[in-house]
Amino acid sequence: MKKNQKKLAIKIKNVTKTYVLRHEKPTLIESLLYRPKKGIHTALKDISFSVYEGERLGIIGSNGSGKTTLLKLIAGITKQQKGDIKVNGRVVSLIDLSAGFHPDLTGEENIFLNGLVIGMTRREIEEKKQSIIDFADIGKFIDAPLYTYSGGMELRLGFAIAVHSNPDVLLVDEGFAVGDENFREKAHKKILEFKRQKKTLVMVSHWISELERNCNKFLWLERGEIVKFGGKEVLKKY
Amino acid sequence: MLSYFSKYWFDFVWVMTLKEIKARYKRVFLGFIWAILNPIFQMLAIGFIFQFFIPVKIDNYFYFLFAGLLPWNFFSYTFSKCTPLMLNERSLIQKAKFPREALVLSIVFSNLFHFLISLFLFTVLTIFVGYLSLFKLFILFLAILWLVFFTIGISFLLSTLFVRYRDIKFIVQAIIPLWFYATPIIYTRALLPEWVATILKFNPMTGIIELFQFVFISGNSIINLEAVVPGILISLTIVLIGIYLFKRDNQYFDDWL
């Protein structure tokens, strides 16, 4: 029994997520005239597992096994059709770092916008603004509109905002650490810092070695179902 | 239920609204002037042409036009911009969980901001030219409230439907000019045959625009409520359907984008 004072971070109970398959986009006119036939794709089928605070979960599985869907559900970006998901604390995903920036607004204005989108309050952003600017290392560009930024700068800003939001649960999709060598190292250090702070981490990757280094719990998904869930032994079977 | 509307929620709607206002004029010379110039040009064009066609029995026709065009523009700009909104903001929707209604509200409030500036200038003008009583200002306040309420409802409805049915955008584009002519903006209902005037009562915009005209056109001292009651009932129905569908579907938007 896993009840030694550990607090639940994520509880997934009998979760099923389905998508309506569309070969063509439906139109209102069609739907009113006749009922177009719909195919249903089940991305996750009756999944249950729990993650405790401070655990670092690595999710493996082949393409289309439901890994990203699971991350999206934990992040609250979409919702399951059946079952329950409970997440304690603030979840921040490093899925698409440069998403949600407005090209015509300045770096500073975008920090406020993006910070609020991922759940920070205005006061929090005000307090951490300088530290975000320093971490992203964008210097005097902070007052320039975002369309003048290079791809790398946008990415750094996105990452800086995400890690400064003080998440309780951090979601990492594969290939998040893009950018130059210098920034990759910085990003990696930040992940290590989260590890030390005993934050909960959920990571999706194809790279077994990356998961082995960062995680201590593993979930193997295949065709929307759990093949195995547990410690290092899962990786050996994979 | 009430705790849902936290300080964070209001902050979020506020910052999104500011973003809308700022982004709109960021790289435009003359900035805000456009918010006022647009309806003036429109008024001049329509006023110039239509005085040849309609046997206009309306005093100060240009002035009359302006009273109807201002609220109509706010209404039609807002819901046509909101219709494809979820697709345009998909990068935000796919990034995190946040109150999605803020996307719609930020468009409504930023347009409301521009509408209120023009309306304020128009009101100042009316104080000099015509006359405005406190009672009329009170009616104006109620009319704005009703207009905003209805605009929010229809924007929720259309933005939600658009996520699934992409042809909504074309339907909306086709309906806007029809709706414009089915609303007494360039004419009054008194000029129409009885049966047409009766049908128009069931267009909520008729009641709203007639309230605005009552406020700004001197001479009208009797308020005509016959389009107001059916209008309010129909707007309420549309608002409730819009909010219901948005609430039901907004957490699944990502599946369709």
Residue in B186, B184, B188 with CA at minimum distance from that of residue B208? B184
pLDDT(B89) > 60: yes
Say what the pLDDT of residue B228 is: 92
Contact A220, A226 (CB under 8 A): yes
Say what the pLDDT of residue A84 is: 92
The 10s digit of each residue's pLDDT in A89-124 is 889 888 777 777 888 889 999 999 889 988 888 899
At A174, is the secondary structure helix, strand, or coil? coil
Confidence tier at B162 by pLDDT (50, 70, 90): very high
Domain count, chain A: 1
Report the percent of chain A where pLDDT is more than 70. Answer: 92
The tokens for A143 are 């007052």
Say what the pLDDT of residue A11 is: 92
Provide the number of CB pairs (under 8 Å) joining chain A to chain B. 89
Angle at B50 between CA B46 and CA B56, to 5 degrees: 125
Say what the pLDDT of residue B212 is: 93
CB atoms within 10 A of CB A38: 9
The 10s digit of each residue's pLDDT in A195-204 is 888 889 998 8
Higher pLDDT, A212 or B26: A212
Q: Whole domain around residue A18: which residue ranges?
A: 8-89+202-237
Say what the pLDDT of residue A48 is: 92
Q: Is A130 on the interface with B (CB under 8 A)?
A: no
pLDDT(A136) > 50: yes
> Inter-chain contact A100–B95, Cβ cutoff 8 Å?
yes
Contact A21, A41 (CB under 8 A): yes
Confidence tier at B73 by pLDDT (50, 70, 90): very high
Torsion on CA atoms A193, A198, A200, A202, rounded to nearest 10: 50
> Inter-chain contact A78–B15, Cβ cutoff 8 Å?
no
Higher pLDDT, B92 or B72: B72
Partner residue facing A79 (CB), from B26, B161, B252: B252
Q: Is A104 on the interface with B (CB under 8 A)?
A: yes
Single-letter code of the amino acid located at A224: G
Beta strands in A22-80 (DSSP E): 39-52, 56-60
Residue numbers in B near A95 (CB within 8 A) = 94-95
The dihedrals phi and psi of A163, each to the nearest 5 degrees, come to -75, -20
- Give the Cα separation of B51 and B146 in Å (integer): 30
Q: Is A29 on the interface with B (CB under 8 A)?
A: yes
- Left if phi > 0, otherwise alpha if psi is -120 to 50, otherwise beta: which for B145? alpha
Say what the pLDDT of residue A62 is: 85
Higher pLDDT, B28 or A6: A6
Say what the pLDDT of residue A206 is: 78
Residue numbers in B near A75 (CB within 8 A) = 96-97
Say what the pLDDT of residue A25 is: 65
Say what the pLDDT of residue A1 is: 46
Instruction: Name residues 122-161 of chain B within 8 A of A (Cβ).
Output: 161
Q: Is B251 on the interface with A (CB under 8 A)?
A: yes
Lowest mean pLDDT among A119-128, A174-183, B108-117, B246-255: A174-183
Say what the pLDDT of residue A230 is: 83
pLDDT(A161) > 60: yes
Higher pLDDT, A142 or A1: A142
Confidence tier at A24 by pLDDT (50, 70, 90): low
A38 lies in some domain: yes
Residue in A157, A76, A81, A227 with CA at minimum distance from that of residue B98? A76
Q: In whole angstroms, how far apart are CA B50 and each of A12, B57, B200, B217?
A: 65, 12, 20, 19
Report the percent of chain B where pLDDT is more than 70. Answer: 93
Partner residue facing A28 (CB), from B19, B168, B251: B168
- Domain at A16, CATH number: 3.40.50.300
Nearest CA in chain A to B103: A117
Cα of A79 to nearest chain B Cα, Å? 6
pLDDT(B44) > 70: yes
Residue numbers in B near A31 (CB within 8 A) = 165
The 10s digit of each residue's pLDDT in A125-135 is 999 999 999 88
Say what the pLDDT of residue A213 is: 82
Angle at B46 between CA B44 and CA B52, to 5 degrees: 105
pLDDT(A3) > 60: no
* Mean pLDDT over each residue of chain A, to the nearest integer: 84
Cα of B100 to nearest chain A Cα, Å? 10
A219 lies in some domain: yes
pLDDT(B72) > 90: yes
Q: Is A131 on the interface with B (CB under 8 A)?
A: no
Partner residue facing B23 (CB), from A28, A102, A119: A102
pLDDT(B164) > 70: yes
Residue numbers in B near A116 (CB within 8 A) = 8, 11-12, 15-16, 98
pLDDT(A187) > 90: no
A56 lies in some domain: yes
Partner residue facing A119 (CB), from B15, B22, B96: B96
Instruction: Name residues 70-89 of chain A within 8 A of B (Cβ).
Output: 72, 75-79
Say what the pLDDT of residue A5 is: 65
Contact A196, A94 (CB under 8 A): no
pLDDT mean over B117-135: 83
* Mean pLDDT over each residue of chain B, to the nearest integer: 88
CB atoms within 10 A of CB A216: 14
Cα of B249 to nearest chain A Cα, Å? 10
At A146, is the secondary structure helix, strand, or coil? helix
pLDDT mean over B161-176: 92
